[in-house]
Amino acid sequence: MTPADASGTSVAIDTANELNLELVRFLYADHGGVTRGKAAALRFLPERIASGIGHTTAMMAITMLETLAPVDGMSPVGEVRIKPDPETLVALPYAPGAGAMLADLVRPDGQPWEACSRTFLKQAIAELASEGFTMEAAFEPEFTLGRREPDPSGGPDRLVPTDDSLCYSATGFHQAHDFVMELVGALNAQGLKVEHYYPELGHGQQEISIRHAPALQAADHHVLYRETVRGVAFRRGLWASLAPKPIPDQAGNGTHLHASLTELNADGSPGAPAFTDPSDRYGLSKTGYHFIGGLLKHIGGLVALSCGSVNSYRRLQPQFWSSAYTVYGMDNREAAVRICSPLRGDPASTVNLEFKPSDSSANPYLALGAFIYAGLDGIRQRIDPGEAVNVDPATMTEEERQTAGARRLPLSLAEALDELALDDLLISKLGPMRSTAYLAVKRAEAAAFAEHDTAWECFQHFLRF
């Protein structure tokens, strides 16, 4: 343990004692996209931070339907440890007496396990640093606030939204107010800086955005966010879902990914913003264009990780502002990659890219790690992304779309997985164990949902996400 690690650990232990956190949850995200974990009792926290809590390797081969995909090295025989990062300790405002830390999955000897997704993101960040960049990122989640109710006709339970207010309407603010105030307080108390709130387009749909943070912290924040939204709702007898399309005929819940790069100084401190060039017509630097080139080159496989569930592909429809085509554009909400116009007063550091085919059924560590590797490939190969598309691609003719290189994003999880399997870069960065397990888990989910109808699919997704 380095001196910095040791001091982080002792701060976490002192804080847990001061706050009398009887149980501290060690949380991780699995390949099904579900947050899971085990909790340590306060008395044993120092030991468990050092050793981690024992866990079966099988849990990274489990699907969101709780079936076990056949993956070598992930079975009831074999052990890893859920090893928390003490820097991430928070008290959980929606679970009095409990705290949480985000965790890696490590081998019993403490070495990183090849299937750990948080480690994957750390590796991507390190590779980005080796090229002289660091990333600030923010997940921008939408969710549906409702009640879980039986279907009068005997089908699976439905998510019945709490309101039918209009997009950004004052009525929407009124109707969700008490819940939202509690949620905002709970997010801020955990160190997530709430930036905006609005009632959005779909019935019961809410969006609360969180200030950007260094990439690993942004992914950690997103795990805490998802649990906070649901935790606060459950305690009020409500049901909140971040599933991509919990209600088939309403707007989907995206979790757009915003990111910008900063140059690293020789001493490792952050230097100048790397995505800005005031002389460019969209204010974007060459590095920014190359990053987009990499995203578009790898988009099929990338989407398999950023839109990680069967339900994700019900959301990615033209003219739902979710993106459906492989294009980028300036402030284009139908493009897969949007160059966000800078804010007046701080143009240099507010240029950022928004990746729209991204939702909260993804494992955020895998999604953000793959996003970094794809963009980095664009920087290294100096990939030209072509011309920006500044119209809704659905309104173009087929011929215009072909000229612009606008292809449909994968239409199903199965299609996206096939693209991922053919993406040599992403597969090699994931490594054999992670990629095999991810493809096996997700293919098992695709096959299982193919046997069922839309109502069951939506039910299973709003239950878990």
Indicate the residue among 354 and 419 with the shorter CB distance to Mg ion.
Answer: 354
Could you say which of Mg ion, ligand GLU, none residue 33 binds, taking C-beta under 5 to 8 angstroms by partner kind?
none
Measure the CA–CA gap between 60 and 438, rounded to whole angstroms: 8
Site size toward Mg ion, by CB under 5 A: 1
Q: Which residues fall within 8 angstroms of residue 182, CB to CB, at 6 or more apart?
A: 232, 236
Q: Which residues fall within 8 angstroms of residue 8, CB to CB, at 6 or more apart?
A: 86, 87
Residue ranges with strand state E in 200-269 = 205-210, 213-214, 239-241, 255-264
Nearest to residue 253, comparing CAs of 368, 121, 137, 159? 159
Indicate the residue among 333 and 443 with the shorter CB distance to ligand GLU.
Answer: 333
Could you say which of ligand GLU, Mg ion, none residue 141 binds, taking C-beta under 5 to 8 angstroms by partner kind?
none
Indicate the residue among 234 and 321 with the shorter CB distance to ligand GLU.
Answer: 321
Shortest distance in whole angstroms from residue 192 CB to ligand GLU:
19
Query: Looking at this protein, which amino acid is placed at residue 103?
Result: A
Residue of this chain nearest to ligand GLU (CB atom): 254
Could you say which of ligand GLU, Mg ion, none residue 407 binds, taking C-beta under 5 to 8 angstroms by partner kind?
none
Residue 377 in contact with Mg ion, rule: CB under 5 A: no
Whether the CB-CB separation of 336 and 357 falls below 8 Å is answered with yes
Shortest distance in whole angstroms from residue 200 CB to Mg ion:
5
Could you say which of ligand GLU, Mg ion, none residue 107 binds, taking C-beta under 5 to 8 angstroms by partner kind?
none
Taking CA 55 as the corner, what is the angle to CA 53 and CA 57, rounded to the nearest 5 degrees? 145
Residues contributing to the site for ligand GLU (CB under 6 A): 142, 251-252, 254, 315, 320-322, 333, 356
Instruction: Please spell the DSSP secondary structure of 170-205, one letter per residue.
Output: HHHHHHHHHHHHHHHHHHHHTT--EEEEEE-SSTTE
Could you say which of ligand GLU, Mg ion, none residue 305 binds, taking C-beta under 5 to 8 angstroms by partner kind?
none
Nearest to residue 30, comparing CAs of 144, 120, 125? 120
**Token couple for 216:** 């690993």
Indicate the residue among 52 and 202 with the shorter CB distance to Mg ion.
Answer: 202
Whether the CB-CB separation of 307 and 365 falls below 8 Å is answered with no
Which residues, numbered 199-218, are part of the site for Mg ion (CB under 5 A)?
207
CA 348 to chain centre: 26
Shortest distance in whole angstroms from residue 182 CB to ligand GLU:
23
Shortest distance in whole angstroms from residue 242 CB to Mg ion:
12
Could you say which of ligand GLU, Mg ion, none residue 258 binds, taking C-beta under 5 to 8 angstroms by partner kind?
none
Shortest distance in whole angstroms from residue 177 CB to ligand GLU:
20
Shortest distance in whole angstroms from residue 174 CB to Mg ion:
19
Measure the CA–CA gap between 131 and 382, rounded to whole angstroms: 13
Measure the CA–CA gap between 242 and 202, rounded to whole angstroms: 13
Residue of this chain nearest to Mg ion (CB atom): 207
* Strand-pair category, 194-199 with 205-210: antiparallel
Shortest distance in whole angstroms from residue 314 CB to Mg ion:
17
Indicate the residue among 290 and 356 with the shorter CB distance to ligand GLU.
Answer: 356
Could you say which of ligand GLU, Mg ion, none residue 324 binds, taking C-beta under 5 to 8 angstroms by partner kind?
none
Shortest distance in whole angstroms from residue 319 CB to Mg ion:
15
Using CB under 5 A as the criterion, which residues of the chain lie in contact with Mg ion when the complex forms? Answer: 207
